[in-house]
Structure formats: structure tokens, C-alpha cells
Structure 1
């Protein structure tokens, strides 16, 4: 299978990858409006290991972490989609250091870029200029603590940072300390102000989280334990409360699995989890309370080591970045039961992230 859409008009996607493992860097792709198929466009390796990507609110600037020991953020001008051909995005300026090691995730929030720095266990804040260029770091929030895993939890490892709906609160997951931290962003100082910390099961290694579209529940995915922790979210007070746990693999199949990403359907009926090692997508149905996900089935991800999982803008398809098999696969979702069916694949060496815009 391949992404040969024959030039039908559609949207665009960007694929991040590990250049140190043979990846192309940032690859632009055309998206077929009818089938969702991807066709490769131009690529740029101007930045080392752009493993995670984010777009500015207007889609004109693409941001990438440089997941290296030095740690940096890069900004690219996205091509005008009307120009056709989907050329590679153009680097705006030299990468800007984040004062943290191994950034694995970033997000755009209230005129700032925030990066989660896995290696140093911290979250960095970089203001963004009017033309989209990141400015030097104005604040670094350093996590503290450890966990019971002898190798992975000797210290903090911030893995993801997201803005809660409404933008008042910033949540960061820490795999090393088994917790989610809540903070607020001070526009005046460009710093994160700590607000609270929610402890999760020791040894679970929280990696990523996703909000329910209704805005009152959060699903936190463990990497060291294939379990989803359901939390109630109080947006008025910035309080995250765990209320339940659900396995994301069938009983007896937990060994050698390292979940990577959780995605919730726009209508709030289903959620999906990418399971590395097991190389599957788990399908979970949500009950009317949104607090008791039920594992319905798992389906093969179409590759090996699914590092990222994302819905397309229509909410009807899932895309998987399979890092070790070097491809991006896409799936049509059955609206009745939420089960994805493999529809195509695009070669993308060391793929780590897919975004649309």
C-alpha cells in the first residue's frame, strides 16, 4: 500500500522523525480529501531529531523540538498550500536552546512555546515573536522526585506538556516521578507558576494524557505499565483527581509493551491507545460517565513500534507513526464500534510524529 492520491485536492500533514536513525527530518505530505491517503512531498533535515511537532494557531509556522542532549526548538515557515507540490517547510532561524536535555514534546500556549524536556526533567518556556520566531527561554520549571523503576525512574522525566481547555492551566506528565504537575503561565514574567501535583500509581510511568472533549475528564497513559488512569478535572480550581484505572491490553499480554499515545474521539464515545512492542491500537469505549473505559479490542498498527497516534481533522481516520518499521499507516474508523481498519501506508524512516494543518 502507498499514498498515491493522484493529486486530488486535500489538506496537508507534517511528519517528524529521528535523523540520527535515518529519518528525513520534517517531511511534508499531501492528504487526499476523499481517502485520507498521504503522498510524500519535500523534506528538510535542517534540524537534528525533530521528533515532535506543533503548529502556530494560524498554521503559518511549524515548530519542532530537537530531541538532542543539548535540546532546542526550531521554527519553520509552512508553504502556502495553494502553491501545490507540498515543498518542505523553510527554517526561519537557527534552533533556540531550551536549557533542557532531550525535549520530547512541545505545545503553543498564549503566545509562548512550552517544551517537556525528558532528559533533564523540566519544562521550558520560550516567548514567540510576532513573526513566529521563538525567543530565548524565559523560564524553566524543574521537576523533582523519582520512582521505583530501577532504570527509568531514578529522577524526573517530563514527557509531555499541554494546555488545558480554556488555557488557564498547564499540565505536564512526568514518567520518572509518577505524577502530573499543574501550573499556570505568567505572561508578565514568561515563567510557569507551580499550582499542584497529582500522584499516580508508583511505577506506572505516565507518558501522555488526553482531555475528554467535554472538558471534565483526563486520561493519563502509563508507559511503564499498560494502564490508563481516569481522572476528574476541575477547571475552576486546577485540580486533577484519579478515579479509576483500565488496562489497555488483554489480560496476560502485558509483558514487553510500552504504550505511547492516547487519543479521544471528538464525540467522546471512544478512545484509542498506541501500544509499542505489542504493536497494536487498543480500542476502548467510554460509558456515559466517561469514567469507566472498556477495552473492546486491539488491532495491529500496521508496522512496528507505534510512537505516535493522531486523528485527522475530520475525526474519521487514525494515523500512526511507526518508528522502527519506518512508515506512517492510516486507518478508517468504524463509527459504530470505533474499530479502525487499515487503509494505507507511506514510507517514512524513523517516523515519530504526525500533525495536520
Structure 2
């Protein structure tokens, strides 16, 4: 009798152990990818979801001036744009168990892309060129970017970011030097892009639209202005895809000593207010914008003062309320937020570390949790949970 009882307990214990091992083997894992432009590499880290601690993994070779990256909707591929000649889009397969990157292909492109993104099906890649004032649409076949592009469309000066909305029907391009936000219709069956009516909205005078972020419910588009560090809030009509400006909110504290900036790079804009300054050391130079996936908070980065700014989001109206600014890595060009809205990972172009911040779910305030080594000129962050 005792022997039978012992066997039953043993079988039960093995069952529990097996269930635990099974649950651990299938537990979600979060990986962080950072492009290091000067090194021409992409760094990989695993993030512990309970603590926010990063464990460094492999660093893979890419190409000099590797900068913008994008992850496919199914999380199978990471795409990276190389901005040194010959320009290219590289495809890396993401190992679902380890997060390791394996290079699949390198597709030639005609332009240096400041921003790349994918449509919601993962069948098309959009790339915008700051130097050439245009964007392209390329088909993706089996994870590989096809060449030549399906379309090449011109914009005014300094096309910057390009994003499709969550419905996969409307495409938007931030045009920094032209002070515009372009709006298009997108056919997900053919990849064809056509101008909406009107084809663009003028940004408030003196503002240079740079990066874009959609609210999770697809009701609002937030546009970060590079030159005065302001966020332009637009309402998005789900039937027409048209934008309507709602508000303009400063991301700088009231006591800032920074002054309005001007587009960087070659002087091609003849508007006096848009001319680069001889000494840009006090110029506003905003970089990136992201919402938490739960839609509760919005964050921006400003490179001259090396800070992140937090806003609370009113989901009903789209309104932003300033929470505060937080010092971060020197010249923070890129950052990303984990899918569970708990952590923010930020890099600095002039820093040899990256920072992990915990996001307070009640207030949106940031708390520095740790710093970790990174490559030279780290500028872009992508986060994937598998």
C-alpha cells in the first residue's frame, strides 16, 4: 500500500515538474536590438520581464552607417537600412527560441533611408530618404525586399519618417524641411500608394515634422517636431484617412535655455527661418517619439539636452499632459518601449551605454533601472517579444 502511494506521489511530482518545465520552455522572451552606426553592427540583448535587466547576446555584422530598423509584424524578420554606399536593406531572420539574428539577404536600394517601416501584412516595405526628398514602396517576398521598388514618390525637402496606420489603409510621411505631413491611401492588395485629398497638411509655421506615432486605437496621430520639440496631435478620420489638427504641445520644460533649431544637413531650403545656424550647440534637436502599447503614456527624446520627456495621454480626447523630463544617454536618437508597457530602452549616439527605464504604470514617470555596454554611435532600438 505504501509502495503504491509512493509511486502515485512520484508520478504526480513528475507531472508537476514536467508542467513547470513546459511552461518555462514556452514562456515569452523579450529581445532588444540596437544598431551601432559607426561599428556597422547590431547588438542583441535579452530583457528579463520581471526585473528589466538586460543580458547581452551576439553582436552581428551589418554595414557602416546601419541605422533605421523595422521588425516584421509576425516577428520573424528584422530589417536594417545601411546608409553607406552601396545603400542596402538587410534582412535578418530572428530565431524564435534565442532571439539570435541570422542574415538572410541584402537588397540593393538607390537611396539612403532615414526611416523604414512595414505595412501591417509584412508584404511591403516603405523607405523615406531625407537627402533625396522622396519615399519608395518595395514588395517583400519570403522575407526578402524585392528590387526595384513598386513606386517612388517625391515630397518636398527632407522626407523623414513614414508609417502606415493600424488599419493598413492610410500612409503618412513626415516632411521636415517642407513643414508638412503627407497623407496617402494604401492598397494592401497591390502595394499601390495614392495621394489623399488633400495630399498634405501644413504643419504650424516653424515646425519640422520628424517622427510619427499612432494611438493604439487608431484615432490619433502624434507628430514630433524636430525644431522646437513640440508634439502635434492630429485626429484621424477612419473613413477617409484624413487628419485634423487638434493641438500642439511643448515637450520642453518652461525654464529651457534651448532655442528653435533648423534642419541639419545640406542647405536646400531657402526659407530664412529654416537655415542651419552657425553654432547649433543650443539648438533644439528632437529625435524620437513612442507611445506605450497600452496607450497611457507618450515619450519623446531631445538630443541637445539629452533628455526624455513623458506625457500622460487622455485616450478619449487625445490630449497630452506634461509629466516631466528625465536625463538619459548623450544625444538620444532612438528608443523603444517593451510590448507590456513596463520598460523603455534608450540609446545615445555619443554614449557607450544604453539605459533601461522602468515606467511607473500609475504616473508614467521614468526610473533608471540599469545601464549596459553598447557599440559606437548607437542610434536605433527595436524590441520583440517572442
Fold equivalence (TM over 0.5):
yes
Distance 1:183 1:345, change over 3 A: same
CA contact (8 A) 2:323 2:364 kept: no
Select which of 292, 304, 317 maps to 1:290. 317
Distance 1:191 1:61, change over 3 A: same
Select which of 65, 73, 83 maps to 1:67. 83
Q: Distance in 1 between matches of 2:95 and 2:214?
A: 31
Q: Determine which structure has more spread, i.e. the larger CA radius of gyration.
A: 2
Per the alignment, residue 170 of structure 1 pairs with 171
Per the alignment, residue 295 of structure 2 pairs with 268
Select which of 31, 40, 52 maps to 1:12. 31
| TM alignment of 1:199-278, pairs within 5 A | 199-253=202-256, 254-255=258-259, 256-278=283-305
CA contact (8 A) 1:24 1:348 kept: no
Per the alignment, residue 35 of structure 1 pairs with 51
Which stretches in structure 2 are left out of the alignment for 5+ residues?
A: 1-26, 260-282
Per the alignment, residue 338 of structure 1 pairs with 364
Distance 1:221 1:228, change over 3 A: same
Select which of 115, 121, 125 maps to 2:137. 125
1:108 aligned onto 2:118: yes
Task: Kindly indicate which of the two structures has a greater share of residues assigned to helix.
Answer: 2
Per the alignment, residue 5 of structure 1 pairs with none
Distance 1:287 1:13, change over 3 A: closer
Per the alignment, residue 46 of structure 1 pairs with 62
Q: Distance in 2 between matches of 1:48 and 1:278?
A: 27
Q: Distance in 1 between matches of 2:297 and 2:190?
A: 39
CA contact (8 A) 1:283 1:298 kept: yes
Q: CA deviation at 1:69?
A: 5.6
1:157 aligned onto 2:167: no
CA contact (8 A) 1:99 1:140 kept: no
Q: CA deviation at 1:188?
A: 6.2
Q: Distance in 1 between matches of 2:220 and 2:31?
A: 30
CA contact (8 A) 1:139 1:192 kept: no
1:352 aligned onto 2:379: yes
Q: Distance in 2 between matches of 1:184 and 1:290?
A: 25
Question: Residue 33 of structure 1 aligns to a residue in which SS?
Answer: coil
Per the alignment, residue 279 of structure 2 pairs with none
Q: How many residues align?
A: 329
Distance 1:268 1:354, change over 3 A: same
Per the alignment, residue 274 of structure 2 pairs with none
Q: Deviations over 1:100-121 (max 9, x none)?
A: 2x20111111311111111111
RMSD (CA atoms): 2.1
Greater shift in the superposed pair: 234-243 or 39-48: 39-48
Question: Residue 96 of structure 1 aligns to a residue in which SS?
Answer: strand
Q: CA deviation at 1:257?
A: 2.6
TM-score by length of 2: 0.80
